[in-house]
Structure 1
Amino acid sequence: MGVDLTKPWFKHYPEEVPKTMEYDNRPLHGLLMDAAENYPDKVAIHFMGKELTYQEVYDSAKKFASYLQGLGLEKGDRVAIMLPNSPQSVISYYGALLAGGIVVQTNPLYTERELEYQMKDSGAKFLVCLDILLPRANNVKGETNLEHLIVTGIKDYLPFPKNLVYPFIQKREYNMVVKPEHAGDTHVWTKMLEEASGNVTMHEFDPEEDLALLQYTGGTTGYPKGVMLTHHNLVSNTQMSKAWIYKAEYGKETVLGILPFFHVYGMTAVMNLSIMMAQKMVLVPKFDVDTVLKLIEKEKPTLFPGAPTIYIGLLNHPKIQKYDLSSIEACLSGSAPLPVEVQQNFEKVTGGKLVEGYGLTESSPVTHSNLIYDDRRAGTIGIPWPDTDSKIFKPDTLEEMPVGEVGEVAVKGPQIMKGYWNRPEETENTLKDGWLLTGDMGYMNEDGYFYIVDRKKDMIIAGGFNIYPREVEEVLYEHEAIAETVVAGIPDPYRGETVKAYIVLKDGAQLTEEELDQYCRENLAAFKVPKLYEFREELPKTAVGKILRRKLVDEEKEKMEQEKANSSS
């Protein structure tokens, strides 16, 4: 790949980590085929007491694939998956790929408005969803290209007697029990697996050209864009992940699957890596601190990819010392900056290693990380991965900045996306001469370690979720009482950042914080809903009328510093 071995970061590489690698030139679903062939009886998934072997997962994926082909799926058709971490999310992902489809990962928290946009933009013909999400899917179906809905429930993979009790829990929690009929364009998961032949028509793939995934991410336009990731992008990043955690052994690790698979980080660092290495995945559909601590003690995971909010949530549990967490050996933290004290405290409690990494949806996602077992540096995103080049460019040019000077972080490597779905102009603005312009501002020190100082874009990262202010503002502007609004990410000790909305009401209009919060919850996924609202007479603006979001953030920071100073004096 023509790697420049004089790059300063290579001197830190332990001898076990290759600077350049040979990548398997094959489709992504080949990972599952290999695991089923080499480790058929190994447990692939542990889910709330139920366990499935690699052979069982592969057989189910083939059935799913054959059923899709029976419904008319052709190579390149999009298959949307709207599920929490569960056996179905793994089976449908690899099954869709086996059938020749392109997966569209969809957040189960999406509102109808958000779901409709993504289905329209991707052109998905098939949607796999939970039974409690079926009414939402049915409501948007007529406005999209969706032809078939495949419906499953958490209880489908629960062991006895949990499978009998679960409908009552569902009724209590969601005030609904959906019993879909296996008829017409609605297909019930359990019936589908009974009817499917498992005979799949295998397609020829060009891994470097054929898409495996459309992963949606936001941008300065305010509307999420479909990132086109090829089979080669995802296979190469998964192989890099294995090279980085070189002490992990094939067929012997247990990984804690808390990171959602509908997020590209969880998809690569947990699901794809686990399948490639024939690891046992302990799947957690919803993060609950008590449940996770008990799971760690019982299932003894060795690998635990996560986000800072997950580690913080566990550390803040009053009885964490009562649990045995010593099985944990390695944790790679992503999605948001990792506070140094969190890293130190978590390592103290578990005895394992916790390091910060960096990546983007557009890079499958990982490009940089601290070394897990060796030279680790707090406050840095680490060094580039094998075959991954990184530079600091002067913003809006391709002029390289000197060591130590801040500019835009750019990356290049086999994991970099093909482009944005149906957005050639945005692709052209983001990919320059093979370099992905990340929109993050940072610098590299003399040792080749990279630091992120700010974001060029206004994206908010709260609790590991990417939130795009413009998208929230669009919803707020539709409220009849609002004249002007701006949304900003302000510092938050737990979530990294939190969403705050500044509101100017129309003359004579009245609106309470409670009413506005209710309105947002009806139109936005829960993680995008502002946590704070501030009503103002006016918003700060430039001479041409552009609202100064950054000025508001600076005001918040000053306020916090003042409060800190007052409390310590």
Structure 2
Amino acid sequence: MGEDTRLWYQHYPEEIATSIDYDEKPLHEILQDTTKKYPKLQALHFMGKELTFQQLWIQTERVAGYLQSLGLKKGDRVAIMLPNSPQSVIGYYAAMMAGATVVQTNPLYTERELEYQLKDSGAKMIICLDVLFPRVKKVKERTDLEHIIVTGIKDYLPFPKNLAYPFIQKKEYGKFEKPLHGSYGGHVHQWVHLLKESIRNVEKVEVNPKEDIALLQYTGGTTGYPKGVMLTHFNLVANTQMSQQWIYKIKQGEDITLGVLPFFHVYGMTAVMNLSIMMATKMILIPQFHAEDILKIIEKEKPTLFPGAPTIYIGLLNHPKLKDYDISSIKACISGSAPLPVEVQEKFEKETGGKLVEGYGLTESSPITHANLLWDKRVNGSIGLPWPDTDAKIFDSAENMEEMEIGEVGELAVKGPQVMKGYWNRPEETEKVLKDGWLFTGDMGYMDEEGFFYIVDRKKDMIIAGGYNIYPREVEEVLYEHEAIQEVTVAGIPDPYRGETVKAYVVLKEGSNVTEEQLNKFCRKSLAAYKVPRIYEFRDELPKTAVGKILRRQLIEEEKAKQENQQSV
């Protein structure tokens, strides 16, 4: 596609370049660059404790040197199993500085999930939270792990919070792990000890940014086992520089980012952690999402940049004490990980006075490829425009690669410097999604005559009922307009007559009531009869990933299991 046919460029404001001169450097060097420029500036804010960029850099060097002293070699994998905390930032950049590939690991993983990821990645070391240590210890013998580094949330808490935290931890994790004292010796190491004992003696590792893997980021595994996505240093630096272009009103060294999105999720890692380090914006680290705590923090710390997910914004908007807090400091929010309902966007902008737009990406693209413009033309319901140096097309399929006409639905494919190297040890899987440099996303969508893109749904989530194609997102958008609904997801469940039928899983707002019949009438005003849900299930909550993405597949599996049980009775 020639440059003049990229319709989306006509909407770019002059502040956003269509092409960027990318830094071909290792990712951890962005921390070094920012430290040289702003050594005394606050880098991290964590439950009342703050670290400057200088302090962050010194501790990163110490940890990197310690990892090398344990025998870490270039290309070895280091797993990080931590919530958002100073250790998660330090460990991430330190592992890369020491020459390792980081493996981000969800702290909520069960033993089975943890063992699979450690085995698949071949991780030699892990940095984990003290309450997770028993879980890691149990799987160690069945993996390649040689060293475990243990840390606690309290390690970075100011007095007297550090004394009280073990009791808070018991409430959060449902069990009480005694604080770990002294040096473990052997293969287990304590974070506070290694910071004291290690010296900033890092052996510089030569990195080829376009070839060397900075990160193995595991996909959610909605189909089969999770796959390790190989993201190079260049992939991550490029996507972070694109992010910096997109939020051009956010000033380097002046703004404050709210770090609610978990860094073990690729969106939180890029849009919060890497971007904050590159932009020298102070990062407020939030280890767990509690709506009222977030409202208090926004009022007190006055963050301006708030990357999030729809469920996070919904949780704040529906909090009964929302009006008690001043959240007007928020200037810019890009929502990712799931479709953003228009009603949520409009209400959140009204409450904050800031801008909230929908973006789009996937783990395989570091992750962001599209977003709506924050301060210029945008189209509600669209994922927006491709980012600088990012090409996008709608194809009929990965096999034929025939480009669709404007307005026609097909599979979205993207190409750009943020696209992954491939899947870890899975060449066949890589070949299925990477064709001539194009990454086939598995999402069905179209482009309009102005160059704005729309996702109608995941290819795999499309419902085929009685021969009709039904996209869950379209039905969800209608249901979100109902004043009683807080959250909803729509799925296709097995049906002996139609093949599949449409089912809506609904969470109502507190104090609201609505019947199936009322929802049915409401939907029929906006949807063709075949798209209207045939079944409604009211729930207190919906299953979600750590970043707040609703697990539609889990609900479908539950439904199948339920139907099989009924048939066997």
Do they fold alike, i.e. is TM over 0.5?
A: yes
Q: Which residue of 1 aligns with 2:404?
A: 401
Partner of 2:127: 128
Q: What is the Cα deviation at residue 457 of structure 1? A: 2.6
What is the aligned partner in structure 1 of residue 456 from structure 2? 453
Superposed displacement of residue 321, structure 1:
1.5
Shift of 1:3: 7.0
- Cα 1:136/1:330, change in 2 over 3 Å: same
Counterpart-to-counterpart distance in 1, 2:260 and 2:253? 20
Distance 1:313 1:112 in 2: 30
Structure 2 counterpart SS, 1:410: strand
Q: How far apart in 1 are the matches of 2:167 and 2:161?
A: 10
> Is residue 348 of structure 2 the alignment partner of residue 349 of structure 1?
no
Question: 2:416 aligned with 1:413, yes or no?
Answer: yes
Query: Over aligned residue pairs, what C-alpha RMSD do you find?
Result: 2.8
SS in 2 for 1:428: helix
Partner residue in 2 for 1:141: 140
Contact 1:79 1:126 in 2 (8 A): yes
Query: Contact 2:166–2:179 (CA<8 Å) still a contact in 1?
Result: no
Q: Once the two structures are superposed, what CA deviation does each residue of 1:233-260 show, in whole Å capped at 9, x if it has no partner?
A: 0000000000000111110010000000
Q: Distance in 2 between matches of 1:103 and 1:61?
A: 14
> Deviation digits for residues 363-411 of structure 1, max 9, x if unmatched?
0000000000010111000010000000000023211001100000000
**CA contact under 8 A between 1:420 and 1:427: conserved in structure 2?**
yes
Paired with 1:193 and 1:488, the residues of 2 have a C-alpha distance of 57
Q: Does 1:319 align with 2:318?
A: no
Cα deviation, residue 441, structure 1: 0.4
Distance 1:172 1:427, change over 3 A: closer
Distance 1:262 1:152 in 2: 16
Q: 1:182 to 1:489 in 2, by over 3 A?
A: farther
Gaps of 5+ in 2: 463-471, 477-488, 492-499, 509-542
Question: Cα offset for 1:456?
Answer: 1.4
| Equivalent position SS for 1:260 | coil
Distance 1:106 1:494, change over 3 A: farther
State the one-letter code of the partner of 1:213: L
Q: CA deviation at 1:171?
A: 3.4
User: 2:519 — aligned with what?
Assistant: none
- The 2-side partners of 1:205 and 1:538 are apart by 53
Measured after TM superposition, the shift of residue 6 of structure 1 is 3.1
TM-score (norm 1): 0.82
CA deviation after TM superposition for structure 1 residue 526, in Å = 12
1:481 matched to which residue of 2?
none
Does structure 2 retain, via aligned residues, the 8 Å contact 1:260–1:266? yes
Match of 1:271 in 2: 273
CA–CA distance in structure 1, aligned partners of residues 277 and 502 of structure 2: 36
**Amino acid across the alignment from 2:166:** P
> What letter is aligned with 1:403?
I
Q: Could you tell me which residue of structure 2 aligns to residue 443 of structure 1?
A: 446
Match of 2:98 in 1: 99
Retained in 1: the 8 A contact 2:167–2:176? no
Which SS does the other structure have where 1:457 is aligned?
A: helix
Q: 1:182–1:191: 8 Å Cα contact kept in structure 2?
A: no
Instruction: Tell me, in whole angstroms, the C-alpha distance in 1 between the residues paired with 2:240 and 2:195.
Output: 29
Q: Which one-letter code corresponds to 2:408 in the other structure? A: E
**Residue identity matched to 2:325:** Y
Tell whether the 8 Å contact from 2:311 to 2:549 is kept in structure 1 after alignment: no
Q: What residue is the counterpart of 1:8 in the other structure? A: 7
Q: Which residue of 2 aligns with 1:255?
A: 257
The number of residue pairs the alignment matches comes to 492
1:312, 1:494 within 8 Å by CA — same for their partners in 2? no
Give unpaired runs (5+ residues) of structure 1. Answer: 470-486, 496-519, 542-569
2:274 aligned partner, one-letter code: N
Give the letter for the 2:130 counterpart.
D
Q: Report what 1:298 is aligned to.
A: 300
Pair 1:425-2:428 in alignment: yes
The residue identity in structure 1 corresponding to 2:254 is K
Cα 1:490–1:63 change in 2 (3 A) is farther
Structure 2 counterpart of 1:312, one-letter code: I
Q: Is 1:206 equivalent to 2:208 in the alignment? A: yes
Aligned-partner Cα distance in 1 for 2:564–2:321: 47
Structure 1 contact 311–346 (Cα < 8 Å) conserved? yes
SS in 1 for 2:360: strand
Q: How does 1:25-424 map to 2 (within 5 A)?
A: 25-173=24-172, 174-180=174-180, 181-219=183-221, 221-396=223-398, 397-424=400-427
Quick one: distance in 2 between partners of 1:308 and 1:448?
A: 24
State the SS of the aligned residue for 1:183: coil
Cα distance in 2 between the residues matched to 1:425 and 1:21: 32
Q: Structure 1 pair 491/34, CA: closer, same or farther in 2 (3 Å)?
A: farther
8 Å Cα contact 1:312/1:342 also seen in 2: yes
Q: Measure how far apart 1:218 and its partner are.
A: 3.9
Answer whether contact 2:406 2:448 (CA < 8 A) is retained.
yes
SS of the aligned residue for 1:97 comes to helix
- Alignment partner of 2:460: what SS? coil
**CA 1:270–1:198 in structure 2 vs 1: closer, same or farther (change >3 Å)?**
same
Task: Name the counterpart of 1:566.
Answer: none
Matched residue SS, 2:5: coil
Distance, in Å, in 1 between the alignment partners of 2:405 and 2:414 is 16
1:309 touches 1:494 (CA, 8 Å); kept in 2?
no
- Secondary structure of the structure 2 residue equivalent to 1:198: coil
Task: Write out aligned runs for 1:540-559 (5 A).
Answer: none
One-letter code aligned to 1:250: Q
Q: 1:372 to 1:3 in 2, by over 3 A?
A: farther
Flag the 1:494–1:7 CA change in 2: closer, same or farther, 3 A.
Answer: farther
TM-superposed deviation, 1:168: 2.4
Contact 1:46 1:280 in 2 (8 A): yes
* C-alpha distance in structure 2 between counterparts of 1:492 and 1:252, whole Å: 43
Q: Give the Cα–Cα distance (whole angstroms) in 1 for the partners of residues 219 and 448 of structure 2.
A: 30
What is the identity, as a one-letter code, of the residue corresponding to 2:99?
A: G
Label 1:183 to 1:538 Cα distance change in 2 as closer, same or farther (>3 A).
closer
Contact map agreement 2:150 2:189 (CA 8 A) in 1: yes
Query: Alpha-carbon deviations, 1:154-199, whole Å to 9, x = none?
Result: 1000000000111222234432223445211010000010111111
